[in-house]
A and B are shown apart, each in its own frame.
Chain A
């Protein structure tokens, strides 16, 4: 099976580098394959190039070097027509950081309809998609509300519904939880996980929250424009020293497990999430007693 997204030798350099002495490209020779239905978290500290990577995937930015194949189609091809670009953006939706700056309309359902309207879909079908999308993110009862009266988490869920209504195969979340309070973050994360599990939508989640990355199937760590780690959350969190060297920390629960293991306690199981770690420690305590 061909991978859904295949990135090879990707480099990107911003044009306005003259001001800064730093001539290093923001992304440097990145190669990566992502399969359909995967849930990938892209980790990295500020300025590591992770957001740039996201913007390259749906042609908001054009790579300086390298090749991106989406569903077998080379999107770096200069012959891409406007229709091809629309088709690509329909398939790869993107949810951004600031919930306020991505809602266009003054009523929730009108905003969700914005994407499909742009695609020229028939009105009845749009209606159906909007209702479905709002149900999927649990915002049906807010369909007629004004976005500015919603909480951050609710706005972000509306933004997700707006992307869902275009029926994409992949959604990129560019630090979509960074501006939310813990409650809102939880709401949004639940929606993201559900989309991936139930709708089989490929999720690429750009983040710097370890707890969120732990929920993914796979973690890719980018530092200084290069991929330094790529694997399951368990494997990645094992490399605690390497993560620390690029300004990242393992989740607190994992850190605790690591500390206990260093003290000679034998915690078994590949535990990454909060619940799993708690269960593993509880099991150990029971065993010792």
Chain B
């Protein structure tokens, strides 16, 4: 190796000790600071999550990933709780299963989870019976939940399950917000805010059961700070946020993921070179995403990458009359 005047390479700011803990009876050695969830994954132990994503900092709000830590009074969210030397963790105890079942039943009774990938299996695995809370209460009127004031939550009628059911917000041509499907995981807020986009168009408004994702003063997106990058759609775990094209196809009954192909290519616009995953159905691009694990995008795109691909499907010279002249 040649000598250099100074150190040239990447600064190492992450010198970590290794620690050993026990999960479900298996000893595992990981870097200090590794979360219980990450340690579980190295062991192949599956933990269900809703609000966790590798590319976002954990906000531990959904409580689906809780595990039992010996000696701790309460269950711990595995997505954010760091492992410690000598820690003994149980991920499948009856207490854990009971807590997860309750979380799933509360969510399933109050939120439309019909487009949440893997949810049907999860509800079955935990033997959930959300119907035991009664039939769903009637849908709120448009804007009703947005107008709720903290401290003024009326009790739901006896015999009905409280829900967040409400009309879909369709205030622009690029994506819809169907908050009847929102589990308040905060992922969209984090992606729009500090974790990726730093646009801060949305935040959590309200308290308790009236809490909801909202633009400032609940204005339509077109009056908000939104720049339509759709990085909120990319992280939404339930399909509450959905491109308009997909939403319309689903409504028309033509959306069929079983016949769709996904091909990775490079965005045709600026020189950054974002990987675009093109979802194609019947030789038509129906959606563009970017892989979460892509080092350039971390799953993010801008408005042009996520929505600006329509042009290849518009009128092309082959459709046009031949040029005039000689």
Q: Do A and B come from one complex?
A: no
- Give chain A's interface residues, CB within 8 Å of chain B: none
- Give chain B's interface residues, CB within 8 Å of chain A: none
